[in-house]
Amino acid sequence: MQRHYSRGGIIRGVDNVFGQEENDAMAAPIDRSTRRFLIAFRYAFAGIGHLLRTQRNFQIHLLIGAIAIALGMVFRIARWEWVALALTIGMVLAAEGFNTAIEATVDLATSERHPLARIAKDVAAGTVLLCALTAIVVGVLIFGPRLWVLWLMLT
């Protein structure tokens, strides 16, 4: 049985679309060089840069995340609260990234209005909304009692 390389590793005995096993010489081995690894990071940072430059909602979520981090420092929140905060901020920012990627892919695939394109974009945007609402709940659970005490002290 021949070995075949894919992005995920070796696949044994895979037939091509014509029912014939591919030749090992045709399959490219995975490039494990440090140079390719660093290039991949460059692409990833380019994607984050695109989000920062062009996506207003990403910028808003990043600002709110920075405010939450500042509040965490001021209130000296517990380690488990930092974990919840970090995961929540990351979840919202990642959801914005996925939303942007899905919208760009749909726009690339079709310039016409299509019900499936609308569904893809609406579901992606709805997912960001779910993540943002979850982040609000986490923020209220972490900061609500502290802000309430502060409010009572100031009034």
Phi, psi of 109 (to 5 degrees): -70, -35
Q: How far apart are CA 71 and CA 82, in angstroms?
A: 11
Point out the catalytic residue in the list 21, 22, 81, 96: 96
96: annotated active-site residue: yes
Compute the distance between CA of residue 106 and CA of residue 12 in angstroms, rounded to an integer: 34
Yes or no: say if 48 and 100 are a contact pair by the CB < 8 Å rule.
Answer: no
Q: What residue spans of the chain are helical by DSSP H? A: 34-54, 56-75, 79-109, 115-154
Strands 3-6 and 9-12: antiparallel
Please identify every residue annotated as catalytic. Answer: 96
